[in-house]
Structure 1
Amino acid sequence: MTLPQGLRIGYIVPQFPGQTHIFFWREIKALEAMGHEVHVFSTRKPPPRLMSHAWTAEAMARTTYLGRANPLFALNAAAKLVPQGLPKWLLQEPSAFTKDILISLAAADRLRAAAQRLKLDHIHAHSAARAAFIAALSHHMGGPRYSLTLHGPLSDYGSGQRFKWRDASFATIITQKLMDEVHAELGPDLPDRMLIRPMGVDTDVLSRQTPYQPPEHGRPIRIFSCARLNIVKGHQDLMSATRQLIDQGVDVRVEIAGEDDNGGTGYRAELEAHLKKLRLQDHVKLLGAISAEDVRTKLEAAHLFVLASWHEPLGVAYMEAMSMGVPTIGTDAGGVKELISDGATGYLVEPKNPGQLARTIRSLVGSPEALLRLSREGRAHIEQHFRAELGAETLVAEITRLQDAPI
Structure 2
Amino acid sequence: MKARIGYFPPEFPGQTHIFLWREIHALSELGIESDWVSTRRPPKAIVSHSWSEEAQNNTTYLVPFGFKDFLGACLEILRAGPLAWLHCLSVVITAKDLSFSQRLRLLALILPAGKLAWLARDKGWSHIHVPSCADAANIAMFASILCGITYSLSLLGPTLEGYGPNQEQKWKHAAFVLIMSELLFKVAKERLAGFLPDLVEIAPVGVDLDEIKRHSPYIPWEAGTPCRIYSCGRLNRVKGHNYLIETVALLRQRGIDVRLQIAGEDEKGGSGYRRDLEKFIQDKSISDYVELLGAVSEEKHRQCLEEAHVFALASLNEGISVAIMEAMAMEMPVVVTDVGGNSELIENGVDAIMVQPEKPEEMADAIEKVLKDKGLTLSLSQESRKKVAAKFNHRISASILARCLDEIA
Question: Under TM normalisation by the shorter chain, which class is it?
Answer: over 0.9
* Structure 1, 135-144 or 14-23: larger mean CA deviation: 135-144
Report the Cα offset of residue 78 of structure 1.
5.4
What is the distance in 2 between the residues matched to 1:189 and 1:96? 25
Q: Is contact 1:241–1:355 with CA below 8 Å preserved after alignment?
A: yes
Match of 1:122 in 2: 127
Aligned residue for 1:305, secondary structure, equals strand
Q: Percent same amino acid among aligned pairs?
A: 40
Match of 1:135 in 2: 140
Alignment of 1:230-379 (within 5 A): 230-379=236-385
Change (3 A) 1:69 1:116: closer
* Structure 1, 224-233 or 83-92: larger mean CA deviation: 83-92
Deviations 1:208-256 (A, max 9, x none): 1111111123211111001111122111111111111111111111111
What is the distance in 2 between the residues matched to 1:353 and 1:289? 26
1:183 counterpart (184, 189, 205):
189
What is the distance in 2 between the residues matched to 1:240 and 1:97? 39
Change (3 A) 1:258 1:54: same
Whether 1:66 aligns to 2:67 is: no
Change (3 A) 1:69 1:247: same
Alignment RMSD, CA only? Answer: 1.8
What is the distance in 1 between the residues matched to 2:345 and 2:36? 28
Aligned residue for 2:336, secondary structure, equals strand
What is the distance in 2 between the residues matched to 1:280 and 1:101? 45
The count of residues paired between Structure 1 and Structure 2 equals 399
Q: Is contact 1:100–1:130 with CA below 8 Å preserved after alignment?
A: no
* Structure 1, 30-39 or 40-49: larger mean CA deviation: 30-39
Read off the aligned partner of 1:244 and give its amino acid letter: L
Report the Cα offset of residue 281 of structure 1.
1.9
Unaligned 5+ segments in structure 2 are: none
Deviations 1:358-384 (A, max 9, x none): 111111100111111111111000000
Read off the aligned partner of 1:107 and give its amino acid letter: P
Alignment of 1:88-99 (within 5 A): 88-93=89-94, 94=98, 95=100, 98-99=103-104
What is the distance in 1 between the residues matched to 2:132 and 2:33? 20
Q: Is contact 2:245–2:290 with CA below 8 Å preserved after alignment?
A: yes
Aligned residue for 2:311, secondary structure, equals strand
Match of 1:83 in 2: 83
Read off the aligned partner of 1:283 and give its amino acid letter: Y
Change (3 A) 1:200 1:81: farther
What is the distance in 2 between the residues matched to 1:82 and 1:304? 60
Whether 1:107 aligns to 2:112 is: yes
Please report the TM-score for the alignment, with normalisation by the length of structure 2.
Answer: 0.93
Aligned residue for 1:189, secondary structure, equals coil
Deviations 1:312-358 (A, max 9, x none): 12111001101111211111111111111211111111111111111
Whether 1:39 aligns to 2:35 is: yes
Please report the TM-score for the alignment, with normalisation by the length of structure 1.
Answer: 0.94
Read off the aligned partner of 2:136 and give its amino acid letter: A
Deviations 1:30-71 (A, max 9, x none): 11122221111100011000001100100001111011589x
Report the Cα offset of residue 388 of structure 1.
0.5
Read off the aligned partner of 1:307 and give its amino acid letter: L
Report the Cα offset of residue 103 of structure 1.
2.5
Q: Is contact 1:96–1:159 with CA below 8 Å preserved after alignment?
A: no
Match of 1:151 in 2: 156
Q: Is contact 2:243–2:359 with CA below 8 Å preserved after alignment?
A: yes
What is the distance in 1 between the residues matched to 2:368 and 2:403? 46
Q: Is contact 2:305–2:327 with CA below 8 Å preserved after alignment?
A: yes
Q: Is contact 1:81–1:140 with CA below 8 Å preserved after alignment?
A: no
* Structure 1, 87-96 or 197-206: larger mean CA deviation: 87-96
What is the distance in 2 between the residues matched to 1:177 and 1:99? 33
Q: Is contact 1:136–1:168 with CA below 8 Å preserved after alignment?
A: yes
Match of 1:50 in 2: 46
Unaligned 5+ segments in structure 1 are: none
Q: Is contact 2:260–2:289 with CA below 8 Å preserved after alignment?
A: yes
Aligned residue for 1:191, secondary structure, equals coil
Aligned residue for 2:119, secondary structure, equals helix
Whether 1:8 aligns to 2:4 is: yes
